A and B are shown apart, each in its own frame.
Chain A
């Protein structure tokens, strides 16, 4: 209370106090503070210069970029390509529609909260993959077929990440449960699967899928390259996820399962309603961490000739008419990746806070 009064009466004095308390508490603190200040004054102005003051924002061609700073026209010029890849321009509305459906659904959930009927949610979640596939790939309802080798850019990155996450999650849960199964065969299989996928680098897996696998497949049977990559990333992430979720399962005291069994709940009900909700809640940070890792790993598909967001940026940077702007491209790519990853981590924080478990420690001893 007294600090609030102080601040009102004498803001200079109280800010001096604040600085003393937080920045110059000890000699070491003072040294660190001063060093950082020096570093910032030395470092920030040139950056600011490059990003804004000396940068070129308007104009048409590469020739306009005569200043020393960044050439943001480059990013603006290629933005549609960064986002949509080589997806034909006249069909891009289909991608936009697919995204709008998701945003509209989330919007409805936020506005109407619990009033949204479970049935509606479930229907949409089940039917969305089909709707999205029809929109993206086409082939029915008079929509032109757009082959997956034309997919690219941020759009492809998002497709890989979403399919990867949506597939890896149920698979990870199943593997984690399988590793604790009473049946030795299932237990051994899940362990083997997890260790196998965790033991090899993703790049190797992608190479195998795109180069080696076709050699083993019978002639004429050709699985879409993107599909192969999707399956690989999904399986890869599911192995990591399984280990995270297993940690969560182990954190649940055995009394929970005993109580559920004593009430007559069968194994699946016990997992579905008692153990998994708590176990997943306990490892939300680990799960989201895995998803963020997966999201960034999508850039590796470049290796097998798919042009994800980063791949397109890289390709644009080597465009002969726009040489010398790779840095702007990479910075832009980094910024977009950061936005997505940061939103994921904020989302995970919200999920965590929503938990009733975390409000207070459990009174139940484990």
Chain B
């Protein structure tokens, strides 16, 4: 039953995709030769003028370019022409850097808040104010203090991944079942062993779910951040190709951003499943 449902879903997905590609293809087809055009002018303007072709690239064009990007991912012809693989790598390094810093801060701090009702109450007002701030609002301040665009982007990623992890860790730690803590108490388990062998595994699913939310947000934010700071990264690539008026490349970048984001999410989802325990 399950497998047949999965199969039917796959069929519907494929049909939807095929339908979408077909519509796209038809919508961007040329309308035939529009008029007699001066050959000089036609040579200048290309198919857009001669064949009434849409300025919007068709699916074949985009997929062809996609294939080209996949087969030339790491070329480097100077600052404005790098392979999309290089750009994605820049973005990933920034995301993982900021995310890693956030993990290093959020997990210990989350433990502290989760275990101490006092700290929870004392720090809560700060979180309430800091949490709704768009991470990009920090950018000027980061640029001014850090004075390095790449480090500023990492800082922005750090800020935006911090909150979900921090709040989830605190919540996970605070809601560890009382009875498991009582078991640890009656066995006279020391604080470090209690933290590592009871609280951490008990809260791990909640903590990792927070990480999963964080990495999703970080990947959303990095594109915007790189559009702002420029230089390198997939966000910069999108903006640069827009300036080049290469809609084909913009569409390619959008597709890549989606695929990489999905991969990041899948990795974290797998980790969540790994630490989830059935009760």
Q: Are A and B physically bound partners?
A: no
Residues of B within 8 A of A (CB): none
Residues of A within 8 A of B (CB): none
